[in-house]
Structures are given as structure tokens and as C-alpha cells.
Amino acid sequence: MQWEHYGSDSAIEAADVVIMTDEVSKVEKAIKISKKTLKIARQNIAFAIAVKIAVLILTAFGISNMWQAVFADVGVTVIAVLNAFRAINTKNIY
């Protein structure tokens, strides 16, 4: 083991972000990707909570039953996964 690499290995393990090249512009791209991902995650959470509240209210009034709640939950999960696929497309970010 080479001792001169031990400090940099520890720093890489402890760091949240590591820049491996001299291109500082990649930091800007990483920030844009993270903002887009966070926006999509918030959309998914808001949509899931809204649908669950709607089904809860419909069930309280006797309009909805358990099977509709199950289908709504599965539907929200599928829609959230499909919405999350948008985070993969990072070509138009930069």
C-alpha cells in the first residue's frame, strides 16, 4: 500500500462529491441534475399524498371501497415510477 494515496482515498470515501477531472463545469451540471431529481421526487410525493387523501375522503363518504383504494395505490406507484424515469434524460440539462 502506498502511503501517499491513503489521504486521498480517505477524502474520496468521506466526500459527498468528488471531481475527478479538471472540468469545473461538471459541477454546474451535477447541481442541475440534482435540482431536477429533487423536483421530480417532490412531484411524486405530492401526487401520492393527494391521491391517498382523495381516496380516503371518497371512502369516508362510502363512494370508494377497498379494491379501488388498492388500485389507486398501485396506480400511483406506477405513475411515480414512470415520472421518475424523466430524471434519466440529462442530455438537455447542459
Convert the pLDDT of each residue in 10-59 to its tens digit. Answer: 777 787 777 777 887 788 888 888 899 999 999 999 999 999 999 999 99
Please name which of 50, 54, 47, 39 lies closest in space to residue 79, comparing C-alpha atoms: 47
Residue length of the chain: 94
For the record, the C-alpha cell of 10 comes out as 480517505
Per-residue pLDDT band for 5 (boundaries 50, 70, 90) equals low
The position carrying cell 463545469 is: 25
Of 83, 80, 71, give the one whose Cα is nearest residue 49.
Answer: 80
CB distance 68 to 55 below 8 Å: yes
- Name the pTM for this structure: 0.72
Residue 55: other Cβ atoms inside 10 A = 20
